[in-house]
A = this chain, B = another copy of it.
Amino acid sequence: MTRTDSKPSGRLPKSERRAQVLAAAQEVFVAAGYHAAGMDDIAERAGVSKPVLYQHFSSKLDLYLALLDAGIEELHAGYAAGLRSTSDNKVRVQRTVQAYFAFVEDPQGAFRLVFESDLINEAAVRERVDRADLAVAQAIAHVITEDTGLSPQQALLLGSGMLGMSQVAARRWLRHARTEISREEAAELIASLGWRGISGFPLSHPPED
């Protein structure tokens, strides 16, 4: 019985141990937020000691940023697939909103790191979240400019409005309406709200001074 591969606390390859630490850190950060989370908690959750944490990540912030990047990438992959799946802008909006709801429903809770981070004052975090939001808003703005004659600035503002609509509604649905309304129905409702709002704009928008 010299083999102890199945033992969770045994020696693991570096990448596997790193993934384990990341998973544990995500659980703790999601449950408690950045500031309330302790490296002790993360180490205990991962079943390793604190020095092992610092063998993989140079600091608490580094660990958090790795998880934040993964979460943003997860969200990006979700809506990007929806955008490329069709050229029908209405369906594109539906897919994007669906992606937000799916992201929020993810059992790992990565949305807490992207949408509800308590480290938003940190420049690195703020910058990444801003960039992610801008990408989504621009994607929606692109859809808008195809269907309306609004200026890029106006379209981008509307895009951020659509983004906020999806984000906040998805979070409210998850917390307060998940048992009453299915994910698909909720997303469809919000997508209808957004699409009707967008498609109501005139094709040629005269600037009103």
Contact surface of A with B, Cβ cutoff 8 Å? 32-33, 35-36, 116-121, 133, 137, 153-154, 156-158, 160-169, 172-173, 176-177, 180-181, 186, 189-190, 192-201
Contact = CB atoms under 8 A, between A and B. Distances in A.
A142 to B, nearest CB: 16
B168 A163 contact: yes
B169 A167 contact: no
A156 B177 contact: yes
A165 B161 contact: yes
Contacts of A169: 157-158, 160-161, 164
A179 to B, nearest CB: 10
A32 B119 CA distance: 11
B196 A137 contact: no
Contacts of A119: 118
A105 B167 CA distance: 22
A169 B163 CA distance: 8
Contacts of A118: 35, 117-121
A116 to B, nearest CB: 6
In this complex, which of A158, A165, A181 has the most chain B Cβ atoms within 10 angstroms of its Cβ? A165
Given A35-B35, A177-B153, A194-B197, A158 B121 contact: no
Contacts of A200: 192, 196-197, 200
A196 B189 contact: no
A19 to B, nearest CB: 26
Given A35-B118, A153-B180, A158-B189, 5 more contacts: A137-B172, A161-B165, A161-B166, A161-B193, A193-B197
